[in-house]
Structure 1
Amino acid sequence: MIRSPRRLVAAAVSIAAGTALLASTASPAVTSAAPGTSLVSSTSTGAQSADIVVHSASMNRNIPLSVLLPKNRDKPAGVLYLLNGAGGGEDSASWQAKTDIKKFFANKNVYVITPMQGAYTYYTDWVNADKKLGVNKWSTFLGKELPSVVDSTYKTNGKNSIAGISSSATSVLNLAIEHKGLYKSVGSYSGCASSSSDMGMMYIRMVVKSRGGADPENMWGPYEGGQWKEHDPIVNAAKLKGLSLYLSAATGVPGKYDTPAYTPDPDTLSDQIVVGGTIEAATRVCTEMLASKLADLHIPATVDRPAAGSHSWHYWQDQLHKSWPQLARSIGA
């Protein structure tokens, strides 16, 4: 049983302290964009995969993304926007590097789009530029700029889903709230949606300040200000009505992947059990809070509660597999 979420997160802190697609053989260089537009370039990385670059007008920079293509590209297909965690795919911790998504989606008719940038930003629109992380308008990019580029470039059916892990498990809920009607479903794995509570703010400081070296108040303003509540999916849970919701978090108790058989490096395994276990226990508390609020509002949600497991990739791969049938139904995949 989880006794003190604030103490658990504090322990973790101390430990962890439109446009046209260029040919697939084209160079990844992006030509200059007209004001207010986004251009795409693409380099094929396999029969069903590509690395693309989209110019974000709101951030005035080029954003790299990974794309998995449908098995059958003759018919329109839905889109799954799949977000990386705190590192934004800029480090080695990404869906592409840590999971089987390329194999898993090889026989499925869906576009899978993953930004490979956005570390420690929570994929939100920051109120101020940050000395460390610069200008961040990720909600604008993901919710307004990118979908129009994707839909005009690929043969999509206009139906979107979004999923994310850890810090991005909060982001996907906020993105669905902010861009009503854009997504049909949301997968939120091991997140802390209680972003305006003491516990939630502590978790965000761990990601943005302790790991990213940035100022969290540049994200949503002063801690006591209204923007923190505006970006709290539990406070705004009523706005999730109508979405197909999948939530998951384990207990932090070591599970089958927290063993040398799956994580042979002793230092990595130790961090996974101690740090990853502590963080996962805290996200379980947050997930139960959101599940309870949704239940009070009579908003349906699938909530998966594994009895064991840490805050790590093998478990998130399992959750993607488990949630996929529900996400797929919502977008006609």
Structure 2
Amino acid sequence: MHEAQTDLAKNPDISNPDDSRNRISKRIKRRILGLAATALALPLTAGLISGSVATAAPARTAPAGGYEEVFVDSSMGPIKVQIQWASRGGNAALYLLDGLRARDDRNAWSFETNALEQYRGDNVTLVMPVGGQSSFYSDWYANSNLNRQPVTYKWETFLTQELPAYLESRGVSRTNNGVLGLSMGGSAALTLAAYHRDQFKFAGSLSGYLNISAPGMREAIRVAMVSAGSFNVDAMWGPPWNPAWLRNDPFVFAPELAGLSLYISAASGLPGQFDQPRRPVDFVNTGSAIGLEALALMNSRAFQLRMNSLGIPATYSFPANGTHSWPYWGAELWKARGQILDTLNAW
């Protein structure tokens, strides 16, 4: 009897079946809660041991070929971007920048040239942002007061932060890119590449203004921007003595271009195979294109001398004939194709 009482004292569940069931139920609940806590803790612990487990994003591949128009959020509002995807889903991209009179509906590279056809079979994504008339693709100080511009241009931010973030979500690399532009977009392409070396491996200027500090250039840009949308240049880079003018002058920041793959082109301004004016307005436009291209050639030649003095190599193309017009820029884009694809490993 004494031994029986001792066993009951050691194991009270035997004496009370209800208590036994309750205790078993509690133990099961504690076991389940413990297993759940362990399961929840495992990913966190793994993250502490190896950050890649906790933060790794799913692998993405760009669409294999095809054309798309998207709107990408920016501080300026949604920006339309025309995209031709790399033919085999590669991660390289070539940004094509428009000229001073950039339109709000389409990037002129998409309809004034055969750029899409040129690169359709290549493993590089063509990125053509729409808009930015007279912007020089810069971050402006303020909105232009001459034309009551509703927003302040922030194109450098868009092209180097907001747009790359979107493209990365579609499989395009943030670091394997080229940028090429004509006229206004030519100097802008070099500016973007110089200050964002982690993003761009190639930069190209076609008929660009690459010596903005030359006598008369700042005044010429002021007049041109008034004629193209009534934009006030002071809202862009401030008065002529503001340091922002030097920051955006390829002749000045030329040392920052060392190590980049560069393609620089400007024609003589003499009419060539694509200049066949027939109507009076054609003769006026051709005359304007002659003067603009001659100015671009002087700027580009001065830039070449500056680069040579620094020992920085670049590919130069100075055709004997050609004016400031799209057919010639389309031809130069084709001439630069091999260098671009080599640099981005995008054949």
* Structure-2-length-normalised TM-score: 0.77
1:245 is matched with: 262
Candidates 121, 127, 133, aligned match of 1:107:
121
Could you tell me which residue of structure 2 aligns to residue 255 of structure 1? Answer: 272
2:225 paired with 1:211: no
- The yes-or-no answer on 1:164 pairing with 2:178 is no
The structure with the greater share of residues assigned to helix is 2
> Which of 60, 84, 87 in structure 2 is aligned with 1:68?
84
Q: Does 1:52 align with 2:52?
A: no
- Between the aligned residues of both structures, percent identity stands at 31
Paired AA for residue 106 in structure 1:
R
* Aligned 8 A contact 1:128 1:219 in 2: yes
Give the ranges of 4+ consecutive aligned residues of structure 1 lying more than 4 Å apart after TM superposition: none
* TM-score for both structures, normalised by structure 1: 0.80
The answer to which structure, 1 or 2, has the higher relative contact order (CA under 8 A, 6+ apart) is 1
Partner of 2:323: 310
CA distance in 2, matches of 1:63, 1:92: 11
Whether 2:206 is the aligned partner of 1:189: answer yes
Deviation at 1:268, TM superposition (A): 4.8
SS of the residue 1:255 aligns to: coil
Secondary structure (helix, strand or coil) at the match of 1:139 reads helix
Q: Which letter does structure 2 place at the counterpart of 1:53? A: F
Q: Structure 2: how far apart are the matches of 1:166 and 1:79?
A: 21
Deviations 1:6-59 (CA, angstroms, capped at 9, x unpaired): xxxxxxxxxxxxxxxxxxxxxxxxxxxxxxxxxxxxxx9xx7100010010x33
1:322 maps to 2:339 = no
Q: CA deviation at 1:269?
A: 2.9
Secondary structure of the corresponding residue to residue 78 of structure 2: strand
* 1:144 CA drift (Å): 1.5
Give the Å deviation of 1:190: 0.2
Q: Answer yes or no: is 1:98 the counterpart of 2:112.
A: yes
User: Which residue identity does 2:81 align to in structure 1?
Assistant: L
Residue number in structure 1 paired with 2:91: 77
When Rg is computed on C-alpha atoms for both structures, the one with the higher figure is 2
Gaps of 5+ in 2: 1-62
Please tell me the residue identity of whatever aligns with 2:225: V
Alignment of 1:32-51 (within 5 A): 48-51=66-69
SS in 2 for 1:98: coil
Q: Which amino acid in the other structure matches residue 237 of structure 2?
A: W
The one-letter code matched in structure 2 to 1:160 is N
| CA-CA distance at 1:197 after TM superposition | 2.8
Task: Note the C-alpha offset of 1:162.
Answer: 0.2
CA distance in 2 between counterparts of 1:79 and 1:70 reads 8
**1:5-24 residue pairs with structure 2 within 5 A?**
none
Residues 185 and 166 from structure 1, CA distance in 2 versus in 1: closer, same or farther, beyond 3 angstroms? same
Q: Does 1:284 align with 2:297?
A: yes
What is residue 299 of structure 1 aligned with on the other side? 312
The alignment of Structure 1 onto Structure 2 pairs a total of residues equal to 281
Q: Distance in 2 between matches of 1:248 and 1:66?
A: 25
Query: Within 2, Cα distance between the matches of 1:310 and 1:274?
Result: 9
Root-mean-square deviation (CA, aligned residues, Å) is 2.0
